[in-house]
Amino acid sequence: MRGFVERTELLLLFRWIGLSLVLILAFTEPSSGQARALLLFGQAGRMYPLANLGSDAGDDMSPGRAFGGGLGFQVGPTAAIRAMVNVSRSNLRGPTVSFDDSTFTRSYIGLDLMFGAPSDAGLAPYIFFGGGRLCADPGEPGVDTLVKPAGRLGTGMNYVPDNSFFVFFVEAAGWLYDFELLGFSSLQFDTALMGGLAFAVPF
C-alpha cells in the first residue's frame, strides 16, 4: 500500500512539472507593469527521494515533510535571484544498516536564478536553477554528518492578486548530490512539491 501511495504522489509531481512547462511556453502576452522588488517568502510541502542508496538490498530514504524560506530580489519583469534554506526529514529504510533512530534531517542552503513569464491575469509560470550546500544529519548519535555540494532545478507558478503585495506560489523542485555515508555511494535526486507565500516590497 505504501508503494502505491508513493507512486501516485510521484505521478502527480511529474504531471505538475509537465503542466508548468506547457504554461510557460503558452503565455505569449507578458505584463509590462512588473516592478523590481524585494521578496520575503516561506514554503512547505513534501520531499520524495527518487533513487536508492546504491545498495543491491534496495536501501533508500522515505518521503517526508519539507519546509523552508528565504529572501529574493526581482531584477526585472522576467528574472529574479533568491537565497533560500530548505529542511526535510526522512527515515532510512532497508536491511543494510540498522539504527535505533533511523531519521535523517537534510538541510539545503543555496541560490536560485529564476526566469518567468508574468501575465496581466496575475499568473506567472517560472523555471529556476541553482546550487548550494546540502547537509544530511543522522538522528543516530555518533554517526557522521554528510556535507556535499548540490545542484537544484525546478518549475513553478506564481499568482499575484490585483493590488496586492502578496504572492502565492506552488513549485516542483529537485536536488542532485552525491550521497557517500555509511558505506553507501550513489548520486541522489530528491524531489519536492512545495507551496508557499511571498511578500513583495517594490522599489
pLDDT at 7: 52
pLDDT at 29: 39
Q: In this structure, are residues 70 and 57 in contact, taking their beta carbons and an 8 Å threshold?
A: no
pLDDT at 40: 95
pLDDT at 107: 95
pLDDT at 28: 35
Helix (H/G/I), strand (E/B), else coil: 62:
coil
Task: Identify the domain containing residue 141 by its residue range.
Answer: 2-202
For residue 135, what are the β-bridge partners? 107, 147
CATH number at residue 138: 2.40.160.20
First to last CA, the chain: 51
Pairing of strands 146-159, 166-181: antiparallel
pLDDT at 201: 87
Tens digit of each residue's pLDDT, the chain (203 residues): 444 444 555 555 455 555 444 444 444 333 444 568 899 999 999 999 888 887 777 888 999 999 999 999 998 888 999 999 999 999 988 888 888 888 999 999 999 999 998 887 888 999 999 999 999 999 888 888 999 999 999 999 999 888 788 999 999 999 999 999 888 888 999 999 999 999 988 87
Number of compact structural domains in the chain? 1
181 Cβ neighbours under 8 A, 6+ residues apart: 136, 138, 144, 146
